[in-house]
Copies of this chain bind each other. A is one copy, B any other.
């Protein structure tokens, strides 16, 4: 094995000191542009890689805050898994010098801006990283302030466009929509006539819009004899009522739900109605509350990108970019989390 290049080798080669090398690579200030360039050139040339162990040993803790809705109410299906992933990631980081603070907000995604504002006032530039969600312009401008102050930001999906993020987890709505329709075709058969109900999240969100478009297109191709109707999965009051009304017509062959909460109330509704010949149901996500429906067959399949992995990966990427900002700059995109198809036989692996 080739002898390891150390910060010291770089210092000697460039005729400077280890401190300068450190500053060139890592710190933002306290070094002249000229010296920095000279050092970084040598770093590049000699293919220097920081020794994380040594680095960790000496440096003081990084501080990261995770600000996400608590896993309660209708948000619980989605955010429980996400928080689990955050906790898991934190556990794995605990031997590294990081202090992760968890803030569970009370008002769901829609009022995130208030919580971001509060966090901004309660913290200062000593906050190195922030993991959160952002669904609207106001939240987005708070994130800008955090970043200007020197805090790196990692987002969990559902994003508005924002510059300079450390990372943003992406969901593959297109693949998920296609998979759901494909599965539905297996269940109903291609020739079936009647109605297909899509229970979708709010189309103000990019990912749900893509989902609906994909499903609509695919149904036309694959299930041409099914007429599609869309319900709002977030309308807990009227959604189930509407679904019940449609089911009363007697020709609903299939139900596809693209959001966790919609999947849940669709299951509940079908359970309650105890129909002789219920429609096939393909839902989204995997969470504890779905267990009985997987078991009794009301829910035949769901499509899933692990929330846990989303949370874990966001935290991990943020941490890595803090530890090694130099390498982080040239890191490639976020690796995609697999889209899974979940049935009674394998949902346990994803709980």
Please list the residues of chain A having a beta carbon within 8 angstroms of any beta carbon in chain B.
1, 49, 51-54, 56-57, 95-96, 99, 175, 178-179, 182-183, 186-187, 189, 336-346, 349-350
Contact yes or no, A53 B346, CB < 8 A? no
Can you tell how many copies of this chain the complex includes?
Answer: 2
Question: Once the chains bind, are A338 and B349 in contact (CB under 8 Å)?
Answer: yes
Q: Contacts A49-B95, A53-B53, A53-B57: A340 and B343 contacting too (C-beta < 8 A)?
A: no
Question: 7 pairs across A/B with beta carbons < 8 Å?
Answer: A53-B95, A175-B346, A179-B343, A186-B186, A338-B340, A338-B346, A339-B349
What is the bound-complex CA distance between A186 and B186, given in angstroms? 6
Seed contacts A179-B345, A339-B349; 15 additional CB < 8 Å A-B pairs: A49-B95, A52-B95, A53-B53, A53-B95, A175-B345, A182-B343, A182-B345, A186-B186, A186-B187, A337-B349, A338-B346, A338-B350, A339-B345, A340-B341, A341-B342
Chain B residues, Cβ within 8 Å of A179:
343, 345-346
Residues of B within 8 A of A96 (CB): 53
A51 surroundings in chain B (CB, below 8 A): 57, 95
Bound-state Cα–Cα, A49 to B95, Å = 9
Tell me which residues across on chain B come within 8 A of A337, comparing CB atoms. 349
Given the complex of chains A and B, what is the CA–CA distance between A141 and B198 in angstroms?
59
Most central of A51, A342, A344, A346 by chain B CB within 10 Å: A346
Closest to A189 in B: B189
CA distance A339 to B345 in the complex (A): 9
- In the bound assembly, the distance between CA atoms of A339 and B344 in angstroms comes to 11
- Provide the bound-state CA to CA distance between A180 and B194, in Å: 29
Rank and list the top 3 A-B pairs by shortest CB-CB distance, nearest first: A338-B349, A179-B345, A53-B56
Docked CA distance A220–B95 (Å): 52
- Alpha-carbon distance A183/B182, docked complex (angstroms): 13
Q: How far is the CA of A189 from the CA of B342 in the complex (A)?
A: 19
A322 to chain B, nearest CB (A): 15
Q: How far is the CA of A245 from the CA of B23 in the complex (A)?
A: 73
- Name the residue on B nearest A54 (C-beta): B57
Q: Assess the B57–A99 pair: CB atoms within 8 A.
A: no
| CB of A57, distance to nearest CB on chain B (Å) | 5
Please tell me which one of the listed residues B95, B182, B187 contacts residue A344 in the complex, with CB atoms under 8 A apart: B182
CA distance A99 to B139 in the complex (A): 47
- Nearest CB of chain B from residue A221's CB, rounded to whole Å: 13
CB distance from A52 to the nearest CB of B (A): 5
Looking at the assembled complex, report how far the CB atom of A302 sits from the nearest CB atom of chain B, in whole angstroms: 11
Which residue of chain B is the closest to A1 with respect to CB atoms? B99
Most B Cβ at <10 Å: residue of A57, A175, A336: A57
Task: Take A1-B99, A52-B53 as given contacts and tell me if A340 and B346 are in contact as well, using a CB distance cutoff of 8 Å.
Answer: yes
In the complex, what residue of chain B is closest to A342 when comparing beta carbons? Answer: B341
Contacts of A340 in B (CB 8 A): 338, 340-341, 346
Chain B positions within 8 Å of A99 at CB level = 1
Q: Which residues of B are found within 8 Å of A344, using beta-carbon distances?
A: 182
* Docked pose: A186 CA to B1 CA in angstroms: 54
By a CB distance below 8 angstroms, the chain B residues around A178 are 345
